[in-house]
Amino acid sequence: MADCFDTVIISDLHLGSEVSQAGAALAFLQSARFKRLILLGDIFADLNFRRLTKEHWKFLGHIRKLSNPRHEIEVVWVEGNHDHGLTEVMSHLVGVPVYQEYEWQYDGKRHLAIHGHQFDSFAVGNAFLSKVGNFIFLQLQKFDSKNKRFARYLDRLNTRWLRLSEQVAHGALSYAKPGKTERIFCGHTHAPLARERDGVEYYNSGAWVDQRCTYITIGPEGVEIHDYVHETDNRDPGEERIPAFADAAAITVPAGLFPDEVYEGIPG
């Protein structure tokens, strides 16, 4: 039986974008056990629901199911810069409350989840340019539907160029303040990361838009960042799915022991 975590965090699924790994995210959520699920922002690429595919709707349907009170799972949505303005729609559509930042206690520690664009000076100072950039990005994906290599390249380039990973980590650690919050969690950068400063722990949950899909678990063992390993599904269509495959296949990297290659190209 899979471990039951106190909390699972995923972010940056970018539903409505062609690089969204909604199917993998759904398979993961179906295989994991947890008491609380935090959708840490940018679950949608934009507010255009017409771009959602059948797979994307299936993911949303599963969230709606999880949020049913009989499951006794707390599902919360923390708004990102791409899902900004979805508060009312989301609460109705999937029955999940939306927060700008979400705070909870676990293991005697104060935990705080905030998407992270608040610490991204480019997103804050250039909301219009970010919107234009996002539009161009979505248009490019249409012309590059074959393997999305170019779109993925742009996504990585964008992240590196803005040096987002370090900037958001720094901003979040300063925001948390020693003695007030022990652990702070962000998404937004698409780069999983663990950091510690002055007794405050920072974790970034990465994204579900590329080959690399990552999620955070919080439980008695502490905080861990995991890679979700895609199932190579070449079995008979009639064969039943094995629900717990994610746990057996997941590579668990203890938080804080992330290899340097993860941050390739981002000056430390």
Q: Could you list the residues that contact Mn ion (CB under 5 A)? A: 42, 80-81, 117, 188
How far apart are CB 200 and Mn ion at their closest, in Å? 22
d(CA 19, CA 115): 20
Which strand (E) or helix (H) includes residue 6? strand 4-10
Residue number, 79 or 224, with CB nearest to Mn ion: 79
How far apart are CB 70 and Mn ion at their closest, in Å? 32
Residue number, 148 or 188, with CB nearest to Mn ion: 188
How far apart are CB 112 and Mn ion at their closest, in Å? 17
How far apart are CB 242 and Mn ion at their closest, in Å? 33
3-state helix, strand, coil in the chain (%, to 5): 35, 25, 40
Residue number, 30 or 158, with CB nearest to Mn ion: 158
Residue number, 17 or 81, with CB nearest to Mn ion: 81
d(CA 54, CA 244): 24
Buried b (16+ CB within 10 A) or exposed e, 198-221: eebbbbbbbbbbbebbbbbbbbee
The SS3 assignment for 228 reads strand
